[in-house]
């Protein structure tokens, strides 16, 4: 049983390399990256052999606890590796203990678990200060690996059981975005020197607590013994108990998973036809209504909506803590938001997945499709950016700078949507499918997507270059440059949007079947 | 059924419609599609007369969906032409597509819309005005028995309901030709009978239906014409009675598609596990 599952897992891993060259290249890059990090950690741990026990303990226990926490948390949010979800074995009638053991062992076969194995093995070198310490470390290595693997299996399966409804996943996704964005200023706070010194003493007491928790005990036991502290034996007991308890919990969870089909959400009901009734009943109006409904309802768009305002806030916080003066700071958010909003629509068609067939079969005019999709972006984006420009200029204490801000922002938004109108019809790349987690990027995106995304960013900035340069001159005090920046921004933006829509519309009409084909491959 | 009842023994049937006497609404000539080295559709010729109810049958992977996708403008052929009312679908797609209603198989819908929104969307994209869409949506919803589901997101529909709302969306612009890929898959028998009823009335009024299905009984009962596609080629086409030639359509189809696999060597299946 166990051997069969391990073979299945190995087969799945090998098959990852039997895909398109782009995917293989991305995978190889990820593996190299992982191998590099692992090597770095191993070298660090060996080097820590010669550091004072207190410092080695802090690094190993602190870092190790975070690593084990990641094993639990990452599968919950990212939903990785559900290929070996116990529910998939429900119909085979396998006894649950055997299945639980088999799946847990299979969990060791995988890049993260192998890295954990190597890294925890390297702690043998760190604690090669006494025979007793090595002996305890030798017991702790399998404890660490088993704890990590069991935590990740429990995280993935538990999340699968509890968060299987569409809306609960969406809620978790939204919370995660906000949480991650708030991490950045926290990092700045910590790297700030004065606070950092206080933090270091705080770390000592945190580590002392972690050493007795399930996450840190297995890392801490050899450290204590190496430092001549008999408490290490107690920590060893905690580590062993952790593995046993997690094993029992995992077995229990497999049992539950085998007989459950997941939660069902109560479907929501809409009265009437919403935006479709408010906008004109033309193809362009209907596509606009559909786009607005999706921006409001589809979690993949919602993540964009949340991250667009959060990004500049984080940026301002970080730069502010780094000591950039307030008036300069005030000018930053509006162009950044404009850049992101303008860029957001560059792969819009891919988000429809194969549903785009309806547009192809109905022979929708390309211009209608392009402009309809832009409606939410332009109708919401333009007023927000213009109002934001006035607010920013007021905060900076220089009302005249509203003119170049509007010029730059409008140009970035219009040029971005114009360029996106062409690229989304010409070079769609795969995105998360409708209804799946917005963080579940399809593997094939790595190569093509990165190229498309960065080229578009550069084109967008190039289009706005005149307005930006004139705006910089205006900051130096030129009144004329401020007005010319506004003119240049609006003119360039309108021209790029107009030509991009016309060109993108023709591309859409010509490539309709090919767009559907690429959605089918995604 | 428009085809005359014929003596079961006779295969020399009288063709009721002379070629050219009735307008040909759909005309495939030398239609070909390759995927890499495999030829999915191998130079298919097929003519469908106006007012006919044509079933396309074939084993899994025979090229039915590929053929129907090329007919509806969703998949670019490698060769050959598709004429709908004499209009080349791949030369003048806009004019041709107006006359076609499409139900594709295994493609998504815009399923974050409610049923009512999806029908509205389909109707307006096809150029209908708001009042017409509203009235037809009400009729379609009643006809397909979706009254309780119009406000729910299509993503929350069952498979059969999704099929029905997609079918309704395919009809909303009253096309001359309906191309339906597996319209009865996962639809319950009551709804299927309902759909057949709707389609038969549509055909009686002069519309044309081309559908694919695996339900041989249903096709034999409902369709007046049948085309059997195997391995990307049309092996038989004509009126249902011509094609089945005295046998049941299922028997004839299994024979054409390569016959039954002998079930030898499966004796272990009859000694049961503990």
Q: What string of DSSP letters covers chain B? A: --SPP--TT--SPPPSS-BTTB-EEEEEEEEEEEETTEEEEEEEEEEEETT-EEEEE--TTSSHHHHHHHHTTSS--SEEEEEETTEETTTSHHHHHHTEEEE-SS----TTSBHHHHHHHHHHHTT--HHHHHHHHHHHHHHTT-GGGTTBBGGGS-HHHHHHHHHHHHHTT--SEEEEESTTTT--HHHHHHHHHHHHHHHHTT-EEEEE-S-HHHHHHH-SEEEEEETTEEEEEEEHHHHHTTS-HHHHHHHHTT-PPP-TT-GGGGS---
What distance in Å separates the CA atoms of residue B77 and residue A452, rounded to the nearest whole number?
29
Interface subset of B 169-198, CB within 8 angstroms of A: 169
Instruction: Give the per-residue pLDDT at B209.
Output: 93
Q: What is the mean pLDDT of residues B7-22?
A: 46
**CB atoms A287 and B126 under 8 Å:** no
- Nearest neighbour of B156 by CB, restricted to A267, A273, A294: A267
Degrees, nearest 5: CA angle B30-B212-B203: 95
Q: Percentage of residues in chain A with pLDDT exceeding 90?
A: 23
For B95-142, what is each residue's pLDDT tens digit?
889 899 999 988 889 988 889 999 999 999 998 999 999 999 999 999
Going by pLDDT thresholds of 50, 70 and 90, the confidence category of residue A73 is: confident
A337 closest CA partner among A390, A379, A382: A382
* Least confident window among A141-150, A468-477, B170-179: A468-477
Sign of torsion, CA A470 A473 A477 A480? negative
Q: In what order do the strands lie in the sheet with B79-84?
A: B38-49, B24-35, B79-84, B87-88
B130 vs A contacts (CB less than 8 Å): 281
Which residues have CB under 8 Å from A72's CB, separation 6+?
Answer: A151, A152, A154, A155
What distance in Å separates the CA atoms of residue B218 and residue A73, rounded to the nearest whole number?
53
What distance in Å separates the CA atoms of residue B75 and residue A354, rounded to the nearest whole number?
12
Query: Pairing relation of β-strands B38-49 and B24-35?
Result: antiparallel
Neighbour count for residue B101 (Cβ, 10 Å): 26
* Least confident window among A479-483, B51-55, B178-182: A479-483
| Mean pLDDT estimate for chain A | 81
What distance in Å separates the CA atoms of residue B39 and residue B231, rounded to the nearest whole number?
9
Q: Where are the domains of chain A?
A: 2-258, 276-521
Cβ-count burial B231-267 (b if 16+ within 10 Å, e if not): bbbbebbbbbbbbbbeeebeebbeebbeeeeeeeeee
- Nearest neighbour of B125 by CB, restricted to A268, A283, A434: A283
pLDDT of A379 over the 70 cut: yes
What 3-state DSSP class applies to A270?
Answer: coil
Instruction: Give the per-residue pLDDT at A234.
Output: 92
Instruction: Give the per-residue pLDDT at B179.
Output: 93
**CB atoms A361 and B111 under 8 Å:** no
A268 vs B contacts (CB less than 8 Å): 152-153, 156
ipTM exceeds 0.90, yes or no: no
**CB atoms A361 and B153 under 8 Å:** no
pLDDT of A194 over the 70 cut: no
A357 vs B contacts (CB less than 8 Å): 74, 102, 104, 107
Interface subset of A 266-285, CB within 8 angstroms of B: 267-274, 276, 281-283, 285
Distance from CA of B198 to the nearest CA of A (A): 22
* Least confident window among A47-51, A445-449, A474-478, B68-72: A445-449
For B142-179, what is each residue's pLDDT tens digit?
988 888 888 888 888 888 889 899 999 999 999 999 99
Query: Pairing relation of β-strands B79-84 and B53-57?
Result: unpaired
A267 vs B contacts (CB less than 8 Å): 152-153, 156
Q: In what order do the strands lie in the sheet with B225-230?
A: B100-103, B177-181, B208-212, B53-57, B225-230, B233-239
Sign of torsion, CA A245 A250 A255 A261? positive
What distance in Å separates the CA atoms of residue B189 and residue B196, rounded to the nearest whole number?
10
What distance in Å separates the CA atoms of residue A171 and residue A142, rounded to the nearest whole number?
36
pLDDT of A206 over the 80 cut: no
Q: What is the mean pLDDT of residues A445-452?
A: 63
pLDDT of A287 over the 50 cut: yes
DSSP A269: B
The number of residues in chain B equals 274
* A298 in contact with B, Cβ within 8 Å: yes
* Least confident window among A108-117, A142-151, A284-293: A108-117
Which domains, and CATH codes, for chain B? 23-99+176-257 (3.40.50.300), 107-174 (no CATH)
For A334-378, what is each residue's pLDDT tens digit?
888 888 888 888 888 888 888 999 999 998 999 999 999 988 888
- Nearest neighbour of B73 by CB, restricted to A166, A355, A360: A360
What distance in Å separates the CA atoms of residue A394 and residue A405, rounded to the nearest whole number?
12
DSSP A106: H
Distance from CA of B236 to the nearest CA of A (A): 28
Alpha helices in A79-192 (DSSP H): 96-108, 111-126, 131-162, 166-191
Alpha helices in A211-282 (DSSP H): 217-226, 231-258, 275-278
Q: What is the mean pLDDT of residues B13-17?
A: 43
Distance from CA of B70 to the nearest CA of A (A): 9
DSSP A430: -
Interface subset of A 248-267, CB within 8 angstroms of B: 267
């Amino acid at each position: 049983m166990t051997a069969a599952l391990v073979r299945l897992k190995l087969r799945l891993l090998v098959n990852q390399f039997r895909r398109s060259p782009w995917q293989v290249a991305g995978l190889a890059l990820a593996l190299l990256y992982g191998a590099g990090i692992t090597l770095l950690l191993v070298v660090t741990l060996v080097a820590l052999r010669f550091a004072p026990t207190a410092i080695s303990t802090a690094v190993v226990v602190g870092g190790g606890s975070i690593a084990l926490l990641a094993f639990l948390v990452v599968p919950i949010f990212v939903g990785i590796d559900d290929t070996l979800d116990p529910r998939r074995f429900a119909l085979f009638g396998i006894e649950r203990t055997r299945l639980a053991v088999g799946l847990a062992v299979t969990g060791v076969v995988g890049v993260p678990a192998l890295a954990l194995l190597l890294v925890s093995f390297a702690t043998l070198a760190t604690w090669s200060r006494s025979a007793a310490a090595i002996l305890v470390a030798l017991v702790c290595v399998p404890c660490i690996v088993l704890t990590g693997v069991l935590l990740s299996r429990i995280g993935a399966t538990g999340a699968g059981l509890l968060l299987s409804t569409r809306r609960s996943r969406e809620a978790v996704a939204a919370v995660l975005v906000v949480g991650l964005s708030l991490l950045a200023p926290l990092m700045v706070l910590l790297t700030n020197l004065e606070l950092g010194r206080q933090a270091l003493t705080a770390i000592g007491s945190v580590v002392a607590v972690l050493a007795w928790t399930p996450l840190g005990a297995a890392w801490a036991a050899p450290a204590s013994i190496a430092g001549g502290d008999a408490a290490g034996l107690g920590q060893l007991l905690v580590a062993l108990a952790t593995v046993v308890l997690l094993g029992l919990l995992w077995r229990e969870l497999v049992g539950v998973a085998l007989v459950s089909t997941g939660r069902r959400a109560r479907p929501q009901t809409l009265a009437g036809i919403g935006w479709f009734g408010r906008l004109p009943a033309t193809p362009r109006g209907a596509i606009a209504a559909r786009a607005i409904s999706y921006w409001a309802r589809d979690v993949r768009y919602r993540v964009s909506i949340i991250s667009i305002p959060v990004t500049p806030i984080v940026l301002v916080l970080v730069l502010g803590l780094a000591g950039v003066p307030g008036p300069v700071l005030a000018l930053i958010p509006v162009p950044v938001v404009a850049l992101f909003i303008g860029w957001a629509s560059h792969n819009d068609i891919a988000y429809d997945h194969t549903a785009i067939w309806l547009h192809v079969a109905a022979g929708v005019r390309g211009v209608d499709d392009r402009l309809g999709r832009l409606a939410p972006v332009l109708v919401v984006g333009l007023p927000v950016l213009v109002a934001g420009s006035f607010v920013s200029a007021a905060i900076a204490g220089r009302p005249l700078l509203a003119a170049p801000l509007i010029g730059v922002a409008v140009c970035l938004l219009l040029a971005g949507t114009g360029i996106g109108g062409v690229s989304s019809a010409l070079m769609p790349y795969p995105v998360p499918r409708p209804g799946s987690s917005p963080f579940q990027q399809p593997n094939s995106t790595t190569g093509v997507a990165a190229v498309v995304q960065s080229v578009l960013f550069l084109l967008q900035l190039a289009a706005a270059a005149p307005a930006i340069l004139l705006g910089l001159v205006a900051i130096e005090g030129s009144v004329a440059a401020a007005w010319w920046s506004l003119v240049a921004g609006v003119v360039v933006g309108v021209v790029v949007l107009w030509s991009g829509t016309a060109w993108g519309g023709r591309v859409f009409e010509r490539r309709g079947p090919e767009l559907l084909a690429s959605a089918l491959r995604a | 059924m428009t085809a005359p009842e014929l003596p079961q023994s006779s295969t020399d049937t009288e063709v009721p419609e002379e070629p050219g006497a009735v307008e040909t609404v759909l005309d495939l000539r030398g239609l070909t599609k390759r995927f890499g080295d495999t030829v999915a559709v191998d130079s298919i010729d097929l003519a469908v007369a106006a007012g006919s109810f044509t079933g396309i049958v074939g084993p899994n992977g025979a090229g039915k969906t590929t053929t129907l996708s090329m007919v509806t403008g969703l998949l670019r052929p490698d060769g050959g032409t598709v004429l709908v009312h004499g209009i080349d679908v791949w030369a003048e797609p806009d004019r041709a597509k107006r006359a076609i209603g499409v139900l594709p198989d295994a493609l998504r819908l815009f399923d974050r819309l409610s049923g009512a929104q999806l029908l509205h969307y389909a109707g307006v994209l096809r150029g209908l005005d708001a009042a017409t869409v509203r009235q037809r949506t009400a009729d379609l919803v009643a006809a397909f028995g979706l009254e309780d589901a119009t406000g729910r997101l299509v993503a929350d529909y069952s498979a059969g309901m999704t099929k029905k709302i997609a079918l309704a969306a395919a009809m909303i612009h009253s096309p001359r030709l309906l191309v339906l890929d597996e319209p009865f898959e996962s639809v319950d028998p009551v709804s299927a009978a309902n759909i057949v009823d709707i389609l038969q009335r549509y055909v009686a009024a002069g519309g044309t239906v081309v559908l694919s299905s695996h339900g041989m009984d249903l096709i034999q009962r409902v369709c007046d014409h049948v085309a059997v596609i195997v391995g990307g080629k049309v092996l038989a086409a004509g009126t249902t009675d011509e094609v089945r030639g005295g046998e049941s359509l299922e028997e004839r189809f299994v024979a054409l598609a390569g016959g039954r696999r002998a079930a030898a060597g499966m004796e272990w299946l009859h000694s049961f596990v503990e």
